[in-house]
Chains A and B, each alone.
Chain A
């Protein structure tokens, strides 16, 4: 089961970095701050999944002594920061986002145990994703774009996944929770991959309405 979990983490890495790549291309061409926040979110998420995947590899290959609490918390912190930027991509007040982002980065300085930190980060992730879902549904109500609704569904799956992640930290003996949270998050991420696929397949529209 550990192997499946790791494979799924690395799929998450691929999906996250693909979305970040398209968003960065958008930033380069349009200088859009919304796309910059989206790209930042997926860079953090990608690195978060990467760290978690590497930690998982350490459990499979005993000769790799990398499964430490600090690294796990580091991975979760990256992931939570990614969800923070994803949620606040919708926020209009950029200054507020920057302040809260810094607050989130200095958060672990407070002396808490690794498990407590992991608990807090997981539940924070859940609230950030929940906020993202609400904002995306609100956006769908305005644009009526089916893709937006699909993204809201993807985010909702990630949200449920992060909730299960939190539960898996509370009930360590229930292995299925860990697998379930990864499957739900990966399903959500794969749905988020849809616009990237459309972008890759559709290419550039020359005559669009304004």
Chain B
């Protein structure tokens, strides 16, 4: 049975993609985030705006397209997320 993702889980997925796929240090494009995040363009755009606004992602403006990189605050958020996810799972719960 397929499980729906909570908002916090979607945020963690986007942040971890931005962290793991930034191999060249130039940021990650929207296409990669869309492919890994498994959501519509409109929804992703809105989410990216919110994550940049809250300082979890950094927007790197290129000539044609914007790329995204996880910030230090985003890394700290992910670390906290994994710890509490582990804690919640111990009780049989999902974050």
- List residues of chain A with CB under 8 Å of any chain B CB: 22-23, 25-26, 29-32, 34-35, 38, 89-90, 135-136, 138-140, 143, 145, 147-148, 150-152, 192, 194-196, 198-199, 202-206, 208, 210
Contacts and interface: CB of A to CB of B under 8 A. Distances in A.
- What DSSP secondary structure best describes chain B's contact surface? helix
Contacts, number: 98
Given A195-B87, A206-B75, A31 B92 contact: no
B22 interface: no
A136 to B, nearest CB: 4
B93 interface: yes
Nearest to B84: A26
Contacts of A22: 87
Given A32-B8, A208-B78, A202 B91 contact: no
21 contacts: A23-B87, A25-B84, A30-B80, A31-B8, A89-B93, A90-B93, A138-B92, A139-B89, A139-B92, A145-B89, A195-B86, A195-B87, A195-B90, A196-B87, A198-B90, A203-B83, A204-B80, A204-B83, A205-B79, A208-B85, A210-B12
Contacts of A147: 89-90
Q: Which 10 A-B pairs have the closest CB atoms?
A: A139-B92, A208-B82, A195-B90, A136-B92, A26-B84, A147-B90, A210-B16, A34-B93, A204-B79, A32-B95
B88 A143 contact: no
Given A30-B95, A32-B95, A148 B88 contact: no
A154 to B, nearest CB: 10
Nearest to A150: B90
Contacts of A30: 8, 80-81, 84, 95
B82 A140 contact: no
Contacts of A206: 75, 78-79, 82
Contact of A32 (B75, B82, B88): B88
Given A32-B8, A34-B95, A205-B79, A151 B16 contact: no
B83 A38 contact: no
B86 to A, nearest CB: 7
A192 B90 CA distance: 9
A195 B91 contact: yes
A35 B75 contact: no
